C-alpha cells in the first residue's frame, strides 16, 4: 500500500500528458502510485504514455465517459490513504505533494490541503497568478463565495473523507470540482499551503472555455448547496450568485472574441450586478469589462482578437 494515489484522467491528451505525468513522477514525495485513466482517447495518448518506464505508473483504459467518471474510476483503483487529481494538461511543482502531505500531518483535524495556482499557456509560459487566497479551517462560506481551490488539479484529500461524501457527480459537465469541494467543506476543515504549486493551463479547447455549460452547472451546484445548508441566507445566496456571474463574465471575455461570447458576457455581467450591485463600485474593472464586451460585439473576431492582444501587450 502507498500513501498517496494520484489520478490523471486523459482524453486525447497526446500533446501534454507526458509532461503532466513527469511532473508527478518527479515529485520530492515518492511514496505514491500514479493512476492514469484513459477515457477512450482516439489519438496517440497511449503510445506517448507507453514510453514512460516507472513501476508507480498504472494505466487503465475505458470507453469515453467524461472527466468525472474517469476520476471516479481512478478512485475505485486507488490504494493510497490520500488522493489527488491532476488534469492531463496541467502541471505541478516538484514539492507540491510533499508540502500538502506535511500540512495534513501538522493539522490532523483537516481532510483537504490545497495550494495556490498560477496560469500557464499552451507553451508552459506563465500568464498570471491565480487568486492566491489563504483559507483555513471551516471554509464553507468562503468556498461558496469563490472557488479558491480553482481547479480539479489542486487538493490532496484524505481517502476516507472522499469516501464519506462520495466522488464526483457524473451528471455535471462543468463545476464538478466546486461541487465536490463544497461537499467536503460542509463536513471537514481545509488547510492552505500558501505557495503557487499548481500550474493550470489555459487553452482555447479547454473545458473551462464552455461558459454556457459552466453557467448551467454553477447554478445547479449553488441551488443544491443552498438547499442542503440552512445557514445560507437569501442575502448570501445573492452575493454568491453575483460573484459567480462576475467570474463567468471574465471567463466569457477571456475566450475567443466574437458576438456570441460578447453577448453572453454582457448577460453575465448584468446578472452579476443585479445580484450584487457592489460590482458597480469598481469603475476601473467595469470599464475594462465593458470595453472588452464592446470589442467582441462590434468587431469581426480576428480584428477583435488582434486588438485585445495589442491592449494586453501594452498593459
56: left (phi over 0), alpha (psi -120 to 50) or beta: alpha
Residue where the block lists cell 469516501? 163
C-alpha cell at 121: 499557456
Q: Stretch 43-53: mean pLDDT, rounded? A: 97
Q: What is the C-alpha separation between 4 and 20, in angstroms, rounded? A: 17
Contact assessment for residue 8 and residue 21, using Cβ atoms and an 8 Å cutoff: yes
Who wins on pLDDT, 291 or 18?
18
Contacts of residue 185, defined as CB under 8 A and 6 or more positions apart, other chains included, come to 112, 138, 139, 140, 143
Is residue 310 scored above 70 in pLDDT? no
pLDDT per residue over 282-292, tens digit each? Answer: 888 898 899 88
Contact assessment for residue 34 and residue 24, using Cβ atoms and an 8 Å cutoff: yes
Who wins on pLDDT, 181 or 283?
181
Q: Stretch 80-92: mean pLDDT, rounded? A: 98
Helices (H), the chain: 17-25, 45-50, 67-77, 96-106, 140-145, 159-165, 176-185, 211-228, 234-254, 259-275, 283-298, 301-314
Give the whole-number percent of the chain exceeding pLDDT 90: 77
Is residue 204 scored above 70 in pLDDT? no
Amino acid at each position: 500500500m502507498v500513501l498517496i494515489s494520484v489520478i490523471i484522467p486523459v482524453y486525447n491528451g497526446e500533446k501534454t500528458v507526458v509532461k503532466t505525468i513527469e511532473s508527478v513522477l518527479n515529485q520530492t514525495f515518492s511514496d505514491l502510485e500514479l493512476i492514469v485513466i484513459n477515457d477512450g482517447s482516439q489519438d496517440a495518448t497511449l503510445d506517448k504514455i507507453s514510453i514512460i518506464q516507472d513501476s508507480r505508473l498504472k494505466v487503465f483504459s475505458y470507453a469515453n465517459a467524461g472527466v468525472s467518471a474517469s476520476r471516479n474510476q481512478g478512485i475505485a483503483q486507488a490504494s493510497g490513504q490520500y488522493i489527488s487529481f491532476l488534469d492531463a494538461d496541467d502541471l505541478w511543482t516538484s514539492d507540491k505533494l510533499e508540502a500538502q502531505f506535511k500540512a495534513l500531518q501538522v493539522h490532523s483535524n483537516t481532510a483537504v490541503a490545497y495550494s495556490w495556482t498560477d496560469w500557464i499557456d499552451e507553451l508552459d509560459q506563465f500568464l498570471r497568478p491565480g487568486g492566491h487566497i489563504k483559507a483555513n479551517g471551516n471554509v464553507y462560506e468562503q468556498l461558496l463565495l469563490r472557488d479558491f481551490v480553482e481547479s480539479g488539479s489542486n487538493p490532496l484529500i484524505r481517502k476516507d473523507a472522499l469516501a464519506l461524501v462520495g466522488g464526483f457527480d457524473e451528471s455535471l459537465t462543468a463545476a464538478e470540482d466546486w461541487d465536490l469541494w463544497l461537499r467536503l467543506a460542509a463536513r471537514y476543515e481545509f488547510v492552505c499551503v500558501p505557495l503557487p504549486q499548481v500550474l493550470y493551463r489555459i487553452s482555447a479547447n479547454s473545458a473551462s472555455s464552455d461558459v454556457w455549460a459552466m453557467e448551467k452547472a454553477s447554478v445547479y451546484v449553488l441551488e443544491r448547496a443552498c438547499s442542503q445548508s440552512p445557514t445560507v441566507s437569501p442575502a448570501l445566496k445573492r452575493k454568491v450568485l453575483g460573484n459567480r456571474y462576475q467570474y463567468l463574465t471574465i471567463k466569457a471575455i477571456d475566450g475567443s472574441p466574437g458576438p456570441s461570447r460578447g453577448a453572453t458576457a454582457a448577460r453575465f455581467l448584468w446578472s452579476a450586478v443585479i445580484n450584487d450591485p457592489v460590482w458597480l463600485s469598481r469603475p476601473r474593472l467595469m470599464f475594462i469589462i465593458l470595453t472588452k464586451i464592446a470589442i467582441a460585439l462590434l468587431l469581426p473576431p480576428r480584428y477583435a482578437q488582434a486588438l485585445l492582444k495589442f491592449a494586453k501587450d501594452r498593459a
